[in-house]
Structure 1
């Protein structure tokens, strides 16, 4: 799948000629506020052209072309930047995440991640981390943690209420699974939440109980809200600290647009205050749920900020593969009957999808297992049958177990997936050996099959599930290497150029922003990132080593790597 370097060099030459022909009549009409000369400008436009220089005026790109052409646009007040052979790309998208969730880990949540993200390897280490936090706060204060992974702990199991009681019986404790779809409470937390042996599991969820006693063992699948609703909320001032931390992490990775999955009323209020105080300097597209959350959409639309807009309506139809709550058509590996389960019945999903589709919304529905994807595609097809619409760009989020026939159906319906491609790296070995088996495991995030059908898609980290890093996603897509150093499903590799489109131009398209963002073209926003190497020229195995040198939003530098 990898394109040769000679092909990219020919593209670069053709690009220079293309821009020269395009820009010659316009040169001299307007002077630039800034010009960037002497680099490789990978435009990610439809033709895949490259150039050597770019000019900006205000928040927008004025021109792209050769050094000589762009130099002519510099006036007395123009700031001249020397790219010194470095590479400029369109700003990168975090195409599906939960900003500012990453900022809360460490500030308000004990980091319980295992390597390669964190340090926790055993149950004793997990308990010790919670116990240490308990020492620093008064009895009765809630202790929260995030990121534990039962399959990476030496004991190969979830913590239980008894384990968490070893950390403290005087503090209520709640910890979230790395997937975000399960969690564990200690005995005091269960008591405060009024969870007993008599408590019934909600529809599409499960409260795990001891087989002998019938008492809850502390583990909750898809219904952690039964406990977390009892936890006192943080102040907005506290959450603003998390926004600051997360915002810095995003721009360091070259992110100029974050697409937040499920931004509700509280999140929108927090983001609006962060904008007022200048804490957020990059762009955010916030999905919301339906119902009362439509008020949050109205607030954003009234504000009309260039840094905050609303996107699709977000829904869930199943859970996570690594939590065994993803809904599969065939049982999990080495299981005779466990297929996970849906969030709601197919009939209920269709009813909701038709309602929102008819109201004119774009929809983004979380579906990991192929059975849940069947439900989602059926609902989209029914919605179009009842109320035909053009160019809906409805989405399927994560789409781990997408089958070949389902990719064909997506093509037919005009549906676009956002793949959690980082799964190949972070969970690939365990998908192959524990959850799905070799055959299904090799097909997670079937990018090459999607490219073959001509379907546009995006890739994401689902931060804070995994750290935000769009360039690592490009590396994953081009190499399919796992944390164990194995290659998982090499037939699903794609070229670095195609992977870059998934976090630039195609991400802009998926969010109806292709006329303003996603590529470096005259008239579009000057959202740009400068890299120390060209990901289209180096060995694909080294793409993850590329450093972001500078991130620019609307012509303004929001991050610059300090030289040692």
Structure 2
């Protein structure tokens, strides 16, 4: 045991004996987990054998003998049998409960390795099956199709979707979440024509022969989705329940919703009231019409729901060719993508929010978009200096080394969509970016070397929630095709674990209550079948979550494979 742990324990006993208002009964543990490996991820990376819980917080960590002294007849004793405990895992950037809607209100159109769709005919077939089960005129929605993983190597068009139905309006979302396809009925309802205007960074693809929309909408799906009736409360709560089960089964005790509004906050409030939500959520919000959502979160004052950063967008996705790059896409002529707004417009928005004291999280995939974001953050700090603002850049796929240095200077941190290495790495190398730039996506090792804290995420439902797989990807940089992409950017397992625990807590101003297993912090933790620090990096993928605990309460157990 380290010197720090000895002195911490000594101080604990000193307080126990010398404070007259604290009795022995008050310091007895409600539960003790012993005979295991407790990976604290504290400042010294200490590893203990046992941990004591009282109420919803960690009472103490230490050796078996030390911690068992805190037991009584009423204490629940849990023999870990040499299994390991980790701090609760963060889903550091996602869109909860989006994954829960798949199969309830959305048809799954994903291709391997996530789903089964490999041709446009297969996509049409599963949509037809859905259309056959609902009345004429009912909207059909799907998500997750990937043009580059289908045999035809193209997007479906309105003509393809018209083969599904001409009486059902249809909208399907691309796996990136930044594009989608509408059939003729949906375009008719939305009044999208050859003359429809869209904002900067958006595009309506058109038939080169007729000039009419071909159904594919880039970064402007709202033209269609605003006409889709809201899901019923019953379906939305069912989606929350399904998503909760997915998250806690992967060891997630906190998720960060990247872009919450009044509708999502209302849904979360109801889920809390009906005891459906069993883990914690930090919800980002946007300004303007979403200001009410932030106020509602603050007024609720629930330990399960917290207001986080203000979310902005500056570009789209690399795999959708809407990310804004400094140099053109690989083999694409001069196409570099477009920003959502000018650098000056972004800077003004950032200044306003920064001056008001908000943390800001800005979506930026391409390095040109990241240039804009860092410029805006720097100008805001120059004009309105703030300490410890912790502004963020979301996804940060094409982050360059000079940009990482600028982040260090400004106190900015990225949340990397490192799952791209696995799910799209081969195509970034061969289609979107080319070998050199493709090998540099999500530059974790460089970021670590520059002493910039960072997190990693799945962007669920874009990819399935699985923080331990992110640890595996970060440590191995292996693609779904079995190739290594940019081995120089792989990081140690210990650093990857911090990116889904204590560094994620820090990024959300929660490091004092979450992210590591130290006395006084919330008892949010995960029991896994193996100690990940004792394994080779390739073996991390074999680690299984056995139990997830939030605030001292078990919310998932693999033995029952259900949430309590």
The normalised TM-score by structure 2 is: 0.96
Identify the match of residue 218 of structure 1 among 215, 229, 240.
Answer: 215
Aligned counterpart, 2:20: none
d(CA) in 2 for partners of 1:351 and 1:559? 45
Task: Answer yes or no: is 1:370 the counterpart of 2:370.
Answer: no
Q: In 1, are the aligned partners of 2:200 and 2:338 still within 8 Å (CA)? A: no
2:271 counterpart of 1:274:
yes
* Alignment match of 1:135 (pick from 125, 129, 132): 132
Q: Pick one of 95, 99, 108 that aligns with 2:96.
A: 99
Rounded to whole Å, the distance in 2 between the matches of 1:201 and 1:217 is 15
Distance in 1 (CA, whole Å) between partners of 2:283 and 2:7 is: 39
CA contact (8 A) 1:256 1:551 kept: yes
What residue number does 1:332 align with? 329
CA contact (8 A) 1:480 1:490 kept: yes
1:474 to 471, 474, 479: 471
RMSD in angstroms over aligned alpha carbons?
1.0
**Where does 1:2-17 land on structure 2 (aligned, <5 Å)?**
14-15=1-2
Does the 8 A contact of 1:20 with 1:66 survive in 2? no
Indicate the SS of the match to 2:330: coil
Residue aligning to 2:443? 446
CA contact (8 A) 1:38 1:52 kept: yes
- Cα distance in 2 for partners of 1:376, 1:26 equals 46
Taking the TM superposition and a 5 Å limit, the aligned residue runs for 1:124-523 are 124-523=121-520
CA contact (8 A) 1:24 1:69 kept: no
Q: Distance in 1 between matches of 2:560 and 2:509?
A: 37
Residue of structure 2 equivalent to 1:526: 523
Gapped regions of structure 1 (runs ≥ 5): 1-13
Q: Deviations over 1:211-258 (max 9, x none)?
A: 121000000000000011011111222200000000000000000000
Residues 1:288 and 1:563: Cα distance change in structure 2 (over 3 Å): closer
Query: Which of 35, 47, 71 matches 1:50?
Result: 47
| Structure 2 residue aligned with 1:26 | 12
Report the 3-state secondary structure (helix = DSSP H, G, I; strand = E; otherwise coil) of the residue aligned with 2:559. Answer: coil
* Cα shift readout 1:372-430 (whole Å, capped 9, x = no counterpart): 00000000001011100000000000000000110011011000000000000000000
CA distance in 1, matches of 2:461, 2:541: 19
Deviation at 1:198, TM superposition (A): 1.6
Contact 1:97 1:464 in 2 (8 A): yes
In structure 2, C-alpha distance between the alignment counterparts of 1:242 and 1:22, rounded to whole Å: 44
CA contact (8 A) 2:502 2:515 kept: yes
CA contact (8 A) 1:43 1:49 kept: yes
- What TM-score do the two structures reach when normalised by structure 1? 0.96
List runs of 5+ in structure 2 lacking aligned partners. Answer: 17-23
**2-structure distance, mates of 1:203, 1:346:** 12
Aligned with 1:517: secondary structure?
A: coil
Cα offsets for 1:337-389 (capped at 9, x unmatched): 10011111111100100000000000000000000000000000010111000
Offset, 1:549: 0.4
Measure how far apart 1:37 and its partner are: 0.5
Report the count of equivalent residues. Answer: 550
Query: Which residue of structure 2 aligns with residue 548 of structure 1?
Result: 545
CA contact (8 A) 2:104 2:235 kept: no
Q: For the Cα contact (< 8 Å) 1:19–1:51, is it kept in 2? A: no
Distance 1:563 1:387 in 2: 53
CA distance in 2, matches of 1:84, 1:313: 44
Partner of 2:19: none
SS at match of 1:365: strand
What is the rounded CA distance, in whole Å, between the counterparts of 2:536 and 2:483 in structure 1? 18
Distance 1:531 1:442 in 2: 32
CA contact (8 A) 2:201 2:322 kept: no
Does the 8 Å CA contact 1:20/1:69 hold for their aligned counterparts? no
- Deviation of the 1:109 alpha carbon: 0.5
In 1, Cα distance between equivalents of 2:392 and 2:291:
19
1:31-42 matched pairs, under 5 angstroms: 31-42=28-39
Deviation at 1:545, TM superposition (A): 1.2
| Distance in 1 between residues matched to 2:89 and 2:284, nearest whole Å | 18
**Alpha-carbon contact 1:480-1:489 (below 8 Å) kept:** yes
| 1:85 correspondence with 2:82 | yes
SS in 2 for 1:536: helix
Task: Report the Cα offset of residue 19 of structure 1.
Answer: 2.5
